[in-house]
Structure 1
Amino acid sequence: MLPLLISEQIRQADAFTIANEPISSIDLMERASKAFVGWFINHFPDKSKSISFYCGTGNNGGDGLAIARLLKDHQYKNINVKIARFSQKESEDFTANFYRLQKTGIDITEINKGDTLPIEESAIIIDALLGSGLNKPLTGNYERLVKHINDLDRTVVSVDVPTGFFSDGEILPDATGIKADLVITFQQPKINFLLPESARYINCWEAVSIGVNEKFVQSLNSPYQLTEEKDIRGMLKPRHRFSNKGTYGHALIIAGQAKTMGAALLSASAAAHAGAGLTTACVPESGLTALNSYLPEIMAIIRNESESPEIEWDKFNAIAIGPGLGKGSDAIKLLSAVIKNHKKVLVVDADALNLLGEDKKLLKRLPAGSILTPHMKEFDRLFGDHKSWWQRLQTGLIKAKELNIYIVLKNDYTITITPDGKCYFNSTGNAAMASAGMGDVLTGVIVALLAQNYSPLDACIIGAYIHGKAGDELALPNRLNVVLPGKLVAQLPVTMAKLMA
């Protein structure tokens, strides 16, 4: 797992690297600037393009000055630097890089408080005004300059973080910040890059290694982690000879109504394709023909509104409930019966989540280690309204511990929140997957992994990853604008086989 650090931990990691490598602060800045330039020149190869640097007088500005000098060394011909001198303070590394830059002949302009902002003719703007240490919204001269840059409608590349953007903590809805087409960030993405509020400020980002001491970063024991492919390869269990359907467990999906059988079909199909040895769907009688036609490999338990179905609870290694279930009295009875009789981990999704939101006593009776898979609105119905995604993270950490459950909070970077205080961000998935039924598929994948005796934590992390990875393998090489859930289900065994290879 790649640790994601808050701003204070980033400073600690830099200081430890400087003290123990050892390396001077200015040389670490040079290393970071070279990493930035290495990525930049491969993606902006036209050396005749005009580039304007906007630099503050702190270390982020020092990075910008070093990058400008290095690009000049790489024969970029049309570079100018504008320094925002809105404070009398400047960091030692900024000062050192300022003197180095003066020797290059690059045109340098200073912008002081209240100055008329300069006319900008460059095609590319490099934003190096303020870095990851920002802890309050922009005001005054910085706010005026940032709004001016945003109004220029140019290609903007930010150094480490967009000016005005908080690396962690709550982002205010009306906060002013640079709108960056690209952020080249140092060492690892900042936590807030992975939350939806970042879309206002960041079109895309790329993390470049600057050689910060990895052992020290791991020792910080950050609660925030990013899942990488190597993690999943180490967690997946290949199938072995002399195994049989019983080896891979029996999953039960309780889902669907007459008008919402699609959710049940997708979830049950995903469970089968993700490797459950046996999959049973508990569906209304009106849905039996659809189930048998869609996937004859799925067994059925028939239910009706007048009486509860007879379920041999001990037969099942894992149970999921909720997709397309509805919120009627029969659904409430079913959910209550599952919680009462199934003492193993339970996966709760969709309508079942909304039922738990209406009955907090039922929520508190969930079996230990159970998994909730809410999207944003379902999360707020369960745990109250929130003004930001950062607030949801903090609430999720509290509730996962309090209820001894796992919360799979769905978004672009789906987050698994654990009872022991960790948030695992998933690194796969794409906008083509924004289609009704994708959540039902994820539920089926997770319950299939539980049936195969994966731990709840591993089932959540692997489930989110392979779900997103299958979508990536369909959408990205084929340039698809939309990936339908049924197509993704069929891709799951292929994706898993590649990861196990």
Structure 2
Amino acid sequence: MKIFTAEQIRNCDEYTIKNEPISSGQLMERAAQACVDWIFENCKNHRNFAVFCGKGNNGGDGFAIARMLHLKGFDVDVFTSTKAKFSADAGNNFRELKEFSGVSVKEFKEVKEYRFDNRTVIIDALFGTGLSKNIEGEFKELIDFLNLKNNLKISIDIPSGLFADTVSSENAAIFKADFTLSFQFWKKAFLHPETGKYVGKVKVLDIELHQEYITETKTEDFVINEDKIKDLFRPRNEFSHKGTYGKVIIAGGSYGKIGAAVLSTKSALKSGTGLTFTLAPKCGYEVLQTSNPEAMFIEGGNDFIDHFEKDDNAVYGIGPGLGTNEKTVKSFLTFLKNHSKPLILDADALNIISQDSKNLKIIPENSIITPHPKEFERLFGTTENSFERVKLAKNKAKELGIYIVLKDHHTQIVTPEGDVFYNITGNSGLAKGGSGDILTGIITSFLAQNYSEKEAAILGVWFHGRAAEFASEKHSKESMLPTDVIDEFGTVFKELNAKVERAL
């Protein structure tokens, strides 16, 4: 799914109005109806709605939503500035709403005397994507007041005070929603930690904007949705053998950190690779052979890896628990200088590379690196925020000809061409040591199975998050372990195979 800027979304609206054709008022009605349908389905235990409407088209959506909720039998109170100079469509909807005697229209200043009971839903339709500066004055006071309420809060299209495409200032007044009902598209701000914390759960509502514009308009930003994954995933061929699905070598582990290599190896095995080897120090032999008997062991040293065996027929995943012993550093960098095939680099492999910026030049072209924000910072330098971090990642991916999997709540896959794919699977249960080791195993396995580097990174990150969702359902986000995530790989594969079969 494409991510468009606020300007592109406005252009899409205008293109739809001109080419469907449809009036702007009718398009607003369609958007409001999509919101009401979702609210009606998901808020059945609530009877009262307090709808806060600004003077622009976001307020117009709010007025239409209030009218439709009233017609469905809900109790609705609308807060607005009745003397405001409304946009044309907002004004039309406001006048139409006033004809309904059952809807109470109040001034914003009356909110402090309003009784918010526990069945009241607050709907934010104050400011949309056209906001160009921080909210101040009475609207800041209003948003600060509403944010203190414990009621269920729903924002229409975007939380008021949030910019769609950039980071907001630290002290900006922003409505904090439990749900954001976004029209047709994800906004970039929903996907970054500084701004995404305000949106709650995002529900993208299809309001049938013109498909021709969506198809033909270029963007470098995408959300990984199920349609994308269904197109990427290739079911297993019945007439195949272990050689069909590639050879993986997981290189990692050191004294006290063998568990990282265990997790990465198990992950590679469970995600479908044909042959799996673990290159690890001798101290990990018994643990690895006991925990992963399906994998073969390559001894790389005593308590740490002091030599890397070169195998041009294998895909390497290097880094989990590797350590940064002097001999490991030397042998790893020597291996990297002499290896030309794409590989996956994570954890201590990245920490070793970050010791000297010249090491970046020896990463083989089209390799995949998987840093978390701190590892990224050590590799490429600090940035002011996550928006700037992605911009820097795009520059470095182009410069080095590599794929950067920047791990975050919504992990970003940055390609050498400058495209960014945001992942929306997963949850905070992955915020545990070992989760990154699993991801390394998955991506390495998919690359060995002849997915392209881009495909392996996108499918691997999505797969990792989806397995975590199943694990959290069984164990909770707090209690789930990385091994629980691995145990759900089969569930994800079953789901993917079923989707592909239904599409045939």
TM-score by length of 1: 0.94
Q: Distance in 1 between matches of 2:306 and 2:151?
A: 62
Cα offset for 1:213? 1.2
Q: Secondary structure at the match of 2:238?
A: coil
Q: Deviations over 1:392-435 (max 9, x none)?
A: 11111111111111111112221111111111111211222322
Partners of 1:152 and 1:442 lie apart in 2 by 39
Question: Residue 73 of structure 1 aligns with which residue?
Answer: 71
Deviations 1:219-266 (A, max 9, x none): 212211111223222212222234222111111111010100000111
Moved over 3 A (4+): 115-118, 305-308, 477-481
Extract unaligned runs of 5+ from structure 2: 499-504
Aligned residue among 443, 468, 479 for 2:440:
443
Aligned to 1:36: 35
Whether the 8 Å CA contact 2:123–2:156 is kept in 1: the answer is yes
Contact residue 281 and residue 305 of structure 2 kept, 8 A: no
Report the more deviating stretch, 489-498 or 400-409: 489-498
Number of the residue aligned with 2:100: 104
Change (3 A) 1:427 1:25: same
Distance 2:307 2:158 in 1: 55
CA spacing shift, 1:499–1:118, aligned 2, 3 Å = same
| 8 Å CA contact 1:435, 1:482 repeated in 2 | no
CA contact (8 A) 2:242 2:274 kept: yes
Q: Note if contact 2:371-2:404 (Cα within 8 Å) is conserved in structure 1.
A: yes
Partner of 1:466: 463
SS in 2 for 1:168: coil
**Aligned-pair RMSD on alpha carbons?**
1.9
Counterpart of 2:159 in 1: which secondary structure? coil
TM-score, normalised via structure 2 length: 0.93
CA drift of 1:349 comes to 0.3
Distance in structure 2 (CA, Å) of the matches to 1:136 and 1:472:
37
> Which residue among 397, 401, 419 is the counterpart of 1:400?
397
Match of 1:222 among 219, 222, 246: 219
Between 182-191 and 197-206, the greater mean CA deviation after superposition:
197-206
Q: CA deviation at 1:107?
A: 1.6
Deviation at 1:214, TM superposition (A): 2.2
Counting only pairs closer than 5 Å after superposition, residues 56-205 of structure 1 correspond to structure 2 as 56-76=54-74, 78-84=75-81, 89-105=85-101, 106-111=103-108, 118-122=112-116, 123-205=120-202
Q: What CA distance in whole angstroms lies between the structure 2 residues aligned with 1:46 and 1:253?
A: 51
* Aligned residue runs from structure 1 range 302-317, under 5 A: 302-304=299-301, 308-309=306-307, 311-316=309-314
Equivalent position SS for 1:343:
coil
Residues 341-380 of structure 1 aligned to structure 2 (within 5 Å): 341-380=338-377
- Deviates most, 169-178 or 2-11: 169-178
Instruction: State whether residues 84 and 129 of structure 1, in contact with CA within 8 Å, keep that contact through their aligned partners in structure 2.
Output: no
**C-alpha distance after superposition, 1:323-362 (max 9, x if no partner):** 1111221232233123222211011101111222222111
Structure 1, gaps ≥5 residues long: none
Distance 1:231 1:477 in 2: 27
The Cα shift of 1:307 comes to: 8.2
- The percentage of counterpart residues that share the same residue type is 37
Q: For 1:188-224, what per-residue CA distance to the aligned partner results, in whole angstroms no more than 9, with x for missing partners?
A: 2212112212354122221111111123112212211
Change (3 A) 1:468 1:69: same
Aligned length: 493
CA gap 1:312/1:404 in 2 versus in 1, 3 angstroms: closer
Residues 251 and 280 in structure 1, CA contact (< 8 A), matched pair in contact too: yes
Deviates more, 1:301-310 or 1:177-186: 301-310
Name the structure 2 match of 1:262.
Answer: 259
